Every structure is written in structure tokens, then in C-alpha cells.
Amino acid sequence: GAVVSQHPSRVICKSGTSVKIECRSLDFQATTMFWYRQFPKQSLMLMATSNEGSKATYEQGVEKDKFLINHASLTLSTLTVTSAHPEDSSFYICSARAGDSRFYNEQFFGPGTRLTVL
């Protein structure tokens, strides 16, 4: 149990276009989802925290108008990179936290999405 999927796994787009990344919890309800960004050979940088049905909370320095997060249901959160530029190229990883005492304080991570902006 506790599987998180991301789609797409890899995307290449032109500069100026928008890209949507989906994060789904497949076998549990995720009360909270997190979006991370990872640069090559570096740690994960938390971008934002989203709770189902409410606005995302962004970390300092993350542009909320550029990285739109929607958490419309207990199993789906989306991250849209608007007007993408080459500097947005990165590995984006989502995680989900279950509202279930079996998984106390544990986050389950998706496999990541490699975004390349040309």
C-alpha cells in the first residue's frame, strides 16, 4: 500500500509554455501533499505544501504565480509551471501524507518528473 504516482515522468517543452504535473495517491487518501524540487546532485527543496480544498502554502522564495498548485481531491494534486523557462528545468518530486494513523508522520514519494525547458 501507500503508492504515489506522478505523470508525466519526463517532459520536454519550449520556453514560454506551461506544463502540468500530476501527483496521485493510488491506494490511500492524502490529506496533505508536498511538492519538491531537486537540482542535480543536491537535496530536495520544499516548494509548497497543499491541503485538500485549500490554498497551498509556499516556501519563502517560491513564486506562487509561477508554480500553481491545485489539490482538488484527496487523491490528486497538480503542479503547473507557467511560462516555463530553461532555469525551471529540474526534477520535481511530490509526496503525500496520509490521514491515517497507520502511517503516522510518514510521507510517500512519487517517482519524480524530469522537466526540460528548451
Partner 1 sequence: GDSVTQMEGPVTLSEEAFLTINCTYTATGYPSLFWYVQYPGEGLQLLLKATKADDKGSNKGFEATYRKETTSFHLEKGSVQVSDSAVYFCAYTGSSNTGKLIFGQGTTLQVKP
The reply on whether position 13 binds partner 1 by CB under 8 A is no
Binding test (CB under 8 A) with partner 1, winner from 46, 72, 83, 118: 46
Site for partner 1 in 84-103 (CB under 8 A): 93, 95, 97
What minimum distance in Å lies between the beta carbon of 82 and partner 1? Answer: 23
What minimum distance in Å lies between the beta carbon of 93 and partner 1? Answer: 5
The residues near 31 (Cβ < 8 Å, ≥ 6 apart) are 51, 52, 74, 97, 98, 99
Buried b or exposed e, range 3-41, using 16+ CB within 10 angstroms: ebebeeeebebeeeeebebbbbbeebebbbbbbbbeeee
Binding test (CB under 8 A) with partner 1, winner from 7, 13, 20, 49: 49
Amino acid at 7: H
How far is the C-alpha of 59 from the C-alpha of 43, rounded, in Å?
16
- In the complex with partner 1, the residue whose CB is nearer, 47 or 84, is 47
The reply on whether position 42 binds partner 1 by CB under 8 A is yes
Q: Which secondary structure element, helix H or strand E, spans residue 6, and what is its range?
A: strand 4-7
- In the complex with partner 1, the residue whose CB is nearer, 16 or 111, is 111
The reply on whether position 107 binds partner 1 by CB under 8 A is yes
